[in-house]
A and B are shown apart, each in its own frame.
Chain A
Amino acid sequence: MNLPNTDEIIDDLEFLDNWEQRYQYIIDLGKALPGLPESQHKEEYLVRGCQSNVWLISEEKDDKLLLHVDSDAVIVQGLLTLVMAAYHDKTPEQILAFDIDNYFAQLDLENHITPTRGNGLRAIVGKVQQLAKHSQA
């Protein structure tokens, strides 16, 4: 799939100065996320700790983690795209070395990634980091 990378996203968002534009951008990213077929919306792939449903499937290929994610809320799909830009198709070492807090700070969307927001971003970041540690071991 054709995902923007983290630098592109940071650049794009920097240009947009009101919240409407910024979230329209997130919504559009969300709509472009390929998602998962309905048949893959399984209990076992659900990530706990989200207000809307978030599913995550991962596989390892050539030392890299491939991630497939989906949500039933489009803004969460957009936020997931931000996470995919950082983590999809990366080695466990790259994933663990990536400074996700700094990345989100640069996106200036912090109030979405506090644990209490309940949109599951924290949960998904934690889950991916855990997967990376696991496959490193």
Chain B
Amino acid sequence: MNLNVAQIREQFPILHREVNGKPLVYLDNAATTQKPQAVIDALTDYYTQCNANVHRGAHYLSDEATRRYEAARKTVADYIHANRQEEVIWTSGTTEGINRVANGVAQRLKAGDEVLVTEMEHHANLVTWQQACKRSGASLKVVPINEDGSLNIEQFHSLLSDNTVFVSMPHISNALGTINPVKELTAAAKAKDALVMIDGAQGVAHGAIDVQDIGCDFYAFSGHKLFGPTGIGVLWGSYEVLQDWPVWLVGGEMIATVSYQDATWGELPNRLEAGTPNIAGAIGLAAAIDWLQQFDAADILAHEQALLAKATKLAEQTDGLTIVGHADNKIGVLSFILDGAHPADIGFLLDKQGIAIRTGDHCAQPLMKRLKVPGTARASFTIYNTLDEVDKLFEGINKARLMLA
């Protein structure tokens, strides 16, 4: 079966607007995806029909809001193949999820311990670990990448040691599109008794996730990159690891008993979710997952690969263009530089033509330095993009090239 992309586009109101007098060509999906009407409706419906605080009201609406909110947790748990729904902790996004884990790890790290990350990290999965190491005297080991932007697997294995207590890596690189073999690498890290976290900000956007199959301890992602609302995200952790994970935020909802001088913590997931949560966000994210699940995952993948294959082919035919990131196993992202043009100039001239891409360091300054580029221009594709839009992108790039020549 093929995806009916025209019909999918119909469901995204924003894709029908114009930008700078041109029909919008939205190719910044790795930054955030647009929202289908089903998600917008879920948010509106929540606020118009059901708004109440959860887990505490003794009234009808509070019960209903709690039911919808916990059903959303179940939807996420099923989607990522969690063992139990208590393993799904709501956060504001990937960044918060990683910070929660890094904060907990930092309390347990000691001098001599090692934390492993990769050269392709987003700052969210780098600065967190770097600071946790600084605070504790542990050392941060950085697994290099190969010239093509794939992870150097040999180096990964040789940097893993008996001192490695934690490994955190991206499922998919936001700057390069590289897909890492997270299952195989997780197994190697677990053999050393290290805990493993996957930064799933990009991974979750390109196909169903099975956290049990990966075998990791933590997996974090953001709703807004999965057609859901901003401000909601998920930290998944295995029950065994999460049940005595250091609490971070304390206050209402997360306690069992409180006296003036002391408190005891509640059960998962509450003990890691202090305060009134983003109820509407959670419900909106579940609506996004429900929406996405009407499509066949293999069809989505095939469509995204076709978009990237076409973009790559046109890129290779463009004089002076260099693709940044050529890993065999990659998806969703075409990062590139153009001779004699700064990425900001390209982004600017594409914007004038209604084409939205991202330019800059992609929150990965050390990676840009490693690749010896000032930044790149990045087009990123998803389910609602068309082959025709890929053509428009390259018409736009060629126009920019001529203007800058």
Q: Which A positions have Cβ atoms within 8 angstroms of B?
A: 19-20, 23-24, 27, 51-53, 72-76, 119
Give Cα A20–Cα B403 distance, bound, in whole angstroms.
Answer: 8
Nearest A residue (CB) for B361: A51
Is B344 a contact of A52 with CB atoms below 8 Å?
yes
Give Cα A51–Cα B376 distance, bound, in whole angstroms.
Answer: 12
Give Cα A53–Cα B348 distance, bound, in whole angstroms.
Answer: 15
Contact of B403 among A23, A53, A72 (CB under 8 A): A23
Please tell me if B299 contacts chain A, counting CB pairs below 8 Å. Answer: no
Residues of A within 8 A of B399 (CB): 20
Please tell me if B404 contacts chain A, counting CB pairs below 8 Å. Answer: yes
| Contact A73 B352, CB 8 Å, known A23-B403, A51-B360 | no
Give Cα A74–Cα B405 distance, bound, in whole angstroms.
Answer: 11
Give Cα A98–Cα B403 distance, bound, in whole angstroms.
Answer: 32
Give Cα A52–Cα B359 distance, bound, in whole angstroms.
Answer: 10
Give Cα A52–Cα B344 distance, bound, in whole angstroms.
Answer: 7
Residues of B within 8 A of A23 (CB): 349, 352, 403
Is A27 a contact of B403 with CB atoms below 8 Å?
yes
Give Cα A51–Cα B404 distance, bound, in whole angstroms.
Answer: 18
Q: Which B positions have Cβ atoms within 8 angstroms of A?
A: 20, 341-342, 344-345, 348-349, 352, 359-360, 374, 399, 403-404
Query: Could you say which of A24, A53, A72, A119 has the most chain B C-beta atoms within 10 Å of its C-beta?
Result: A72
Apart from A51-B360, A119-B348, what are 17 other A-B pairs with CB-CB below 8 Å?
A19-B352, A23-B349, A24-B403, A27-B404, A52-B342, A52-B344, A53-B374, A72-B342, A72-B374, A73-B342, A73-B344, A73-B345, A73-B348, A75-B345, A75-B348, A75-B349, A76-B342
Give Cα A52–Cα B345 distance, bound, in whole angstroms.
Answer: 9
Give Cα A68–Cα B118 distance, bound, in whole angstroms.
Answer: 40
Is B404 a contact of A74 with CB atoms below 8 Å?
yes
Is A74 a contact of B345 with CB atoms below 8 Å?
yes
Residues of A within 8 A of B345 (CB): 73-76
Is A75 a contact of B352 with CB atoms below 8 Å?
no
Residues of B within 8 A of A119 (CB): 344, 348
Give Cα A74–Cα B349 distance, bound, in whole angstroms.
Answer: 11
Nearest B residue (CB) for A30: B345
| Contact A75 B344, CB 8 Å, known A23-B349, A27-B404, A51-B359 | yes
Residues of A within 8 A of B20 (CB): 19
Nearest B residue (CB) for A112: B348
Residues of B within 8 A of A53 (CB): 374
Residues of B within 8 A of A73 (CB): 342, 344-345, 348
Give Cα A73–Cα B399 distance, bound, in whole angstroms.
Answer: 17
Pick 29 A–B contacts, CB within 8 A, sort by A. A19-B20, A19-B352, A20-B403, A23-B349, A23-B352, A23-B403, A24-B403, A27-B403, A27-B404, A51-B344, A51-B359, A52-B342, A52-B344, A52-B374, A53-B374, A72-B342, A73-B342, A73-B344, A73-B345, A74-B341, A74-B345, A74-B404, A75-B344, A75-B345, A75-B349, A76-B344, A76-B345, A119-B344, A119-B348
Q: What distance in Å separates the Cβ of A127 from its nearest Cβ neighbour in chain B?
A: 19
Residues of B within 8 A of A74 (CB): 341-342, 345, 404
Residues of B within 8 A of A72 (CB): 342, 374
Residues of A within 8 A of B374 (CB): 52-53, 72
Residues of A within 8 A of B403 (CB): 20, 23-24, 27
Give Cα A52–Cα B347 distance, bound, in whole angstroms.
Answer: 11
Give Cα A120–Cα B360 distance, bound, in whole angstroms.
Answer: 14
Q: What distance in Å separates the Cβ of B220 from its nearest Cβ neighbour in chain A?
A: 27
Give Cα A24–Cα B20 distance, bound, in whole angstroms.
Answer: 17
In the complex, the 9 A-B pairs of residues with the closest C-beta atoms, listed nearest first: A73-B342, A73-B344, A52-B344, A75-B345, A73-B345, A51-B344, A75-B348, A19-B352, A72-B342
Nearest A residue (CB) for B20: A19
Q: What distance in Å separates the Cβ of A120 from its nearest Cβ neighbour in chain B?
A: 10
Give Cα A76–Cα B344 distance, bound, in whole angstroms.
Answer: 9
